[in-house]
Amino acid sequence: MTIHAVVLAAGEGLRLRPVTEVTPKPLLPVVGRTLLARILASLQTAGITDIVVGTGWKHERVAEHIASMQTDVTIHSVYVSDYKIGPLATFVRASQQSTFTTALVCPADYVSDVSPLDTLIAQSACEEDCPVAVMAVSRHAGGSVVFGTDDGRVCGIGHDVTGSASPVGYSAMSMIVSSRFVASCGPALGNGLTHVWQVVNMMVEQGRDVRYLYVGNPGIDVDDFRGLLDAVRHILLNPGPDIAGGLYVPDGDSMKFRTALSSPSRTVIEAGVEIVGPAYVGPGSRIGASCRVGPFVSIERNSVVGNQVEVHDAVFLPGSTVSPSSTLSNVVVHSQGTVYVGD
């Protein structure tokens, strides 16, 4: 059975302002690759070959990014004009552009390795006699609390709809849905619901069969600046084969530069710099003399770090600049300033 995917990439990313006023959240780079490119690659690796991406905020840029990707997967970009209603509107409009029996639904800002998606796809193909939906659930804290029964039935997201269940884990931000689930979403949207999880709770109230499936890694929802830092940490520790075009120092390693280095990717690292892994330095970036960078630092393309800077647990978004002699930790630096996230 062919499983399609619907990726929700329309939101404004309000909790990541002012960054998302300039760059839509799906296009934020994390260790050299955009959030959208990462989830699309994970879906492709999991065996999905037909993907619909629902876009909204700055949709032209997202569509251009999708068009520029070199991939064997069919990716449809669908502009959702009423995306501000909420994720359910994005899901309904995007789903109308594709005919499928079974689809995997996830947000574009979901950072995960392939294993949760593989687990969900391998064990949750929805046929006529199967549940209307199967949720990925993790025992590790992540998304909303999921209530359910020991035999795998969902009894509510965020609260127990049935009044007789217990928490079974946390939403891992993805689910398999049947065409019957999709058919219920349009009327639910018309009745004022705005989120996909609300449709799940509605179905539980109606006594319909919604299931959950445990996956090992919950992934990370990049909903705010803390989520962005957590996503960078996750990828730096689990880089996979897709870090290219920059300098990557693995966890447990370090590099000391006694003399200046200028790479073919236009990365310049001055003398006296130490990079402590895990860390990433993107193309076109410059690190000034006598800096100590890392661990858990991702310096995206065309960023400039002044001399004698010490930094760990940080993200430098493209075009960032850090003044000399700064000491930084738990920050997101962007072209307009610095956001201090805290421990």
Q: Both tokens of residue 86?
A: 């909420």
**pLDDT at residue 98, as a whole number:** 75
Q: Kindly write down the DSSP assignment for every residue of 163-197, as one continuous string.
A: SS-EEEEEEEEEEEEEHHHHHHHHHHHHTT--SHH
CB-based burial of residue 152 (10 Å sphere; 0-12 exposed, 13-18 middle, 19+ buried)? middle
Residue spans of the chain under pLDDT 50 = 126-128
Whether residue 226 is contained in a domain is answered as: no
**pLDDT at residue 171, as a whole number:** 87
Q: Are residues 251 and 174 in the same domain?
A: no
DSSP 239: -
From the list 291, 296, 295, 278, the residue with the least C-alpha distance to 322 is 291
Q: How many domains does the chain have?
A: 2
Whether residue 227 is contained in a domain is answered as: no
pTM exceeds 0.95? no
Residue 107: CA count within 13 A, CB half-sphere:
24
**pLDDT at residue 268, as a whole number:** 95
**pLDDT at residue 126, as a whole number:** 47
Q: Both tokens of residue 148?
A: 């359910």
Whether residue 278 is contained in a domain is answered as: yes
Q: Are residues 191 and 319 in the same domain?
A: no
Give me the domain span that covers residue 48.
4-221
Q: Are residues 136 and 251 in the same domain?
A: no
Q: Are residues 191 and 73 in the same domain?
A: yes
**pLDDT at residue 142, as a whole number:** 67
Summarised one tens digit per residue, pLDDT across range 183-196 is 999 999 999 999 99
Q: Are residues 165 and 263 in the same domain?
A: no
Instruction: Name the packing angle between helices 87-95 and 196-205 (round to 10°).
Output: 90
**pLDDT at residue 100, as a whole number:** 75
Whether residue 195 is contained in a domain is answered as: yes
Q: Are residues 19 and 84 in the same domain?
A: yes
Summarised one tens digit per residue, pLDDT across range 107-164 is 999 887 666 777 777 765 544 456 788 888 887 766 789 999 998 899 999 999 998 8
Report the C-alpha gap between 105 and 5 in whole angstroms.
Answer: 6
